[in-house]
Amino acid sequence: MGAQLRVYKRRIKSVTATKKITKAMEMIAASRVVKAQRKVAASTPYATELTRAVTAVGTGSNTKHPLTTEAETATRSAVLLLTSDRGLAGAFNSNAIKAAEQLTARLEAEGKEVDTYIVGRRGLAHYNFRERKVSESWSGFTDEPTYADAKKVAVPLIEAIEKETADGGVDELHIVYTEFVSMMTQTAVDSRLLPLRLEEVAEESHTKGEILPLYDFEPSAEDVLDALLPRYVESRIYNALLQSAASKHAATRRAMKSATDNAGDLITSLSRLANAARQAEITQEISEIVGGSAALADATAGSDR
């Protein structure tokens, strides 16, 4: 076998192996998307009921709460960025990071200091590499987040928002995550969690226009609101974590699918090249034999004379 042919054969073999791996990763991601989507769906009843309750208390009572009232001049904001622990997901992480950076720039242009909180090793690595300050970070659960994880993330954020701004607290809480629109579309979005915009909350739960009943609060409206709002933040973070996980798996599936397709194309063109090389080798061998025998025939013809 000629040297060139051997090189092609070796490359085909290695690309085939890569293709097998990416194909497997694609299938794993596909099954995980379905699972993650199911989890998003399972968490919806709780989120809807909670949103309804928050709207009811917020609109039905005149209570003032630090989590619902906007500061006159907000000076510090917290931004929670949700990324994944692992890459191989196309532009998934860079889109989320880009969205967070745009939001940070916008907040800074408004004259606010920004504290960054990060979920996922990818986002953390990005910020560490640029030596930017990260207030707190979490990782290790982005593939399959549980409610306990969301709680863990929510605790310092709620603490920060309840603290006075002068003591290092924040006035606003923003979250940047990747919304799972469909299998093919996932968009990085940012939204303000706190202070609550009640109109927005009402719109989300499709309760706008619906007249909410006058509730009896047990024990009191303030206490209910006190207990309700942290749960609301947790459930929003949980929902964002789940959507982000589903989006990550969908992005992985797409990236791996195109990797598999590309490997297939590469194998086709490499086998064409290998075939051409083999044919060229054969042609050369034939012409060598023909040339050799002709030379031999000429030589014997010469000696006869």
Residues that bind another protein (CB under 8 A): 39, 42-43, 45-46, 49-50, 52-53, 56-57, 146-147, 151, 212-219, 223-224, 227-228, 231, 234-235, 238
Query: Could you tell me which residues are beta bridge partners of residue 118?
Result: 81, 137
288: Cα within 13 Å, side-chain hemisphere? 6
Shortest Cβ 34–another protein spacing (Å): 16
Cis, peptide link before residue 219, omega less than 30° from 0: yes
Kindly tell me which of 49 and 265 has the beta carbon lying closer to another protein. 49
Residue-wise over 173-191: b if at least 16 C-beta within 10 A, else e? bbbbbbebeeeeebebbbb
Shortest Cβ 104–another protein spacing (Å): 30
Shortest Cβ 30–another protein spacing (Å): 22
Kindly tell me which of 45 and 209 has the beta carbon lying closer to another protein. 45
Kindly tell me which of 190 and 234 has the beta carbon lying closer to another protein. 234
Shortest Cβ 119–another protein spacing (Å): 17
d(Cα 127, Cα 163) in Å, to the nearest integer? 25
Kindly tell me which of 93 and 235 has the beta carbon lying closer to another protein. 235
State CA 102 to chain mean position distance: 17
Shortest Cβ 249–another protein spacing (Å): 18
Asked if 161 and 173 count as a contact pair (C-beta separation under 8 A), the reply is yes
State CA 67 to chain mean position distance: 28
Kindly tell me which of 211 and 301 has the beta carbon lying closer to another protein. 211
Kindly tell me which of 219 and 302 has the beta carbon lying closer to another protein. 219
In the chain, the amino acid numbered 29 is A
Asked if 78 and 161 count as a contact pair (C-beta separation under 8 A), the reply is yes
Kindly tell me which of 45 and 302 has the beta carbon lying closer to another protein. 45
Shortest Cβ 229–another protein spacing (Å): 12
Query: Could you tell me which residues are beta bridge partners of residue 137?
Result: 118
Shortest Cβ 33–another protein spacing (Å): 18
Q: How far is CA 63 from CA 30, 66, 129, 210, in A?
A: 47, 10, 45, 21
Asked if 191 and 175 count as a contact pair (C-beta separation under 8 A), the reply is yes
